[in-house]
Structure 1
Amino acid sequence: PKEPAMDRSLLIHVTVLLGLTALAVTSAPAAEPDSARQKDLIHLVRQDCGSCHGMRLAGGLGPSLLPEKMADWPDDSLVATILHGRPGTAMPGWQRFMDEAEAGWIVARLKQGFPALP
């Protein structure tokens, strides 16, 4: 049976609204981790990520994580890489050590210039 035009139009509008709502939710800024957790995350990046990306994050086995290299990469792609790794490469996923908001915080710090160890 053919759907009435009014119902189909309503369905399209609801679908668009849900999509925009999802987009707004995923692009909302994440809450900052507390200062103790920030120190843990800085240590993890400097030590664990630094073991492949270089202690100054300028590159090594893995590519540079300096702001000029990170600028053109979409944040959500970088978060996904941190959490899930890169199959077929030495890049592991880190999702058992952090959540999506914390990975987003790391991405934001990498794009600014990552802080030194406290």
Structure 2
Amino acid sequence: MDGPTSYDEDMTDCLFCRIVEGEIPATVVADTDDVLAFRDITPKAPTHVLVIPKAHYANAAELAAADPALAGRLIDVAGTIATSEGVAEDGYRLMFNTGRHGGQEVFHVHLHLLGGTPLGPMLAI
């Protein structure tokens, strides 16, 4: 993994870095050179997939500033998954939570892909 804060001693406690390294199992739905997507273990919708860069970035703003092309690839992979999961036609939500007040619980940037049910204007988590 490459990136300004790629997996090293500081990232040993990062859940998502450990998933990328294969230390923790996940139900993977997409895997590219720089992006990994897997099912959320506590889904908030019938389709709930987390799309992450393999390199560690703390949040969406950090990723976008450091590597805007990689940020775009997360969205591209999410769109491909939405199609393969059968939720693209009816619609789906892409969501980044950034910071504690934004609802971020794992401080490795991740894009939520949610679909398979009407989500309404707000998603209750």
Do the two structures share a fold, i.e. TM-score over 0.5?
no
Q: TM-score range by the shorter chain?
A: under 0.3
Instruction: Report which of the two structures shows the higher radius of gyration computed on alpha carbons.
Output: 1
TM-score normalized by the length of structure 2: 0.24
More helix by share: 1
More strand by share: 2
TM-score normalized by the length of structure 1: 0.25
Larger RCO of the pair (alpha carbons < 8 Å, separation 6+): 2
